[in-house]
Amino acid sequence: MSRASGRLLLLGVVAFGAAAGCIRLGMWQLDRLGQRRAQNALLRQRANLPAVSISELRTQDTSVIHWRHATIRGVADYDAELVHATRSQRGAPGVFLLTPVRVLDAAWGDTAVLVLRGYVYAPDGRTINREKAREGDTVSFETLVTSFPAHTPGNVTMPSDTRAVRVLDRDSLARKMRRPLAPFVLLALGDTVPRDIEKPARIIPPSLSEGSHQSYAFQWFGFATVAIFGFAAFAYSTRRRNR
């Protein structure tokens, strides 16, 4: 094999390896698109179901109630309230309010329900006027049932503020709030546009868009095509020149 042929072979291996990698990434994006579409279909289906009461949620499996609409009425424990720090809404920095609500139902006992009560603007991503962010002792919310994220190892609390947390870890939050928490989180629904920067606006619910997965997949497939045809064109022109 000549030196030129060896170089051409090496270039071909690199080009086809790059193309294979791009195709793999494109397939991964299509898989993500399929997952997103399945989630959106579930959201639409459960959005059309009647709202469940907080009493019904106590006996339901979390996989069944995820993304269901639910109503809750109870007493907000502002003394135990925490903030999910370094959040943003509409591009503005702030916090999400994590409010434990004691349900007005004796069957719940000491267990509280964690309500993501809303977003409050905070330039540093953690400090707000907690008194002005209150909404009354007895609260009533229309909500969307969501799940706690998977456990994340590491320090949950921010060192600069013991009432600000980085992640929603159920066990860690229960210890800080000094009470057991229900195995789900309720996202309070309502006006997502703040009328007063010190008052909570509701958190924007999950989007039903398909995101950019399809366009990213086409881009990766395009890169693979360029790599393959680019190498083929180069090899053809090299052979013609050598003749």
Is the pLDDT at 208 greater than 90, yes or no?
Answer: no
**pLDDT band at 112, cuts 50/70/90?**
very high
211/236 Cα distance (integer angstroms): 40
From residue 155, give the alpha-carbon distance in Å to each of 1, 159, 168.
60, 9, 11
Does 232 map to a domain? yes
H or E segment and range at residue 240? helix 213-242
Claim to verify: residue 22 and residue 80 sit in the same structural domain: no
Does 154 map to a domain? yes
141-179 residue pLDDT tens: 999 998 888 776 666 777 777 889 988 889 889 999 999
Claim to verify: residue 100 and residue 149 sit in the same structural domain: yes
Provide the domain limits for residue 147. 51-188
| Main-chain phi, psi angles of 68, to 5 degrees | -80, 155
Q: What's the average model confidence in pLDDT over 14-40?
A: 89
pLDDT at position 207, please?
A: 75
Does 204 map to a domain? no
Is the pLDDT at 37 greater than 80, yes or no?
Answer: yes
44-58 residue pLDDT tens: 877 778 888 888 888
> 115 or 106: whose pLDDT is higher?
115
Claim to verify: residue 38 and residue 68 sit in the same structural domain: no
97/103 Cα distance (integer angstroms): 18
Among 155-159, 201-205, 214-218, the minimum mean pLDDT is found in 155-159
Is the pLDDT at 205 greater than 90, yes or no?
Answer: no
Does 156 map to a domain? yes
Claim to verify: residue 35 and residue 56 sit in the same structural domain: no
The packing angle between helices 3-47 and 213-242, to 10°, is 170
Claim to verify: residue 133 and residue 230 sit in the same structural domain: no
Is the pLDDT at 1 greater than 70, yes or no?
Answer: no
Task: Kindly compute the dihedral angle of the four CA atoms of residues 169, 209, 61, 50, in this order, to the nearest 10 degrees.
Answer: 130
235/238 Cα distance (integer angstroms): 5
Mean pLDDT over the full length of the chain: 86
H or E segment and range at residue 29? helix 3-47
Q: How many domains does the chain have?
A: 2
Does 200 map to a domain? no
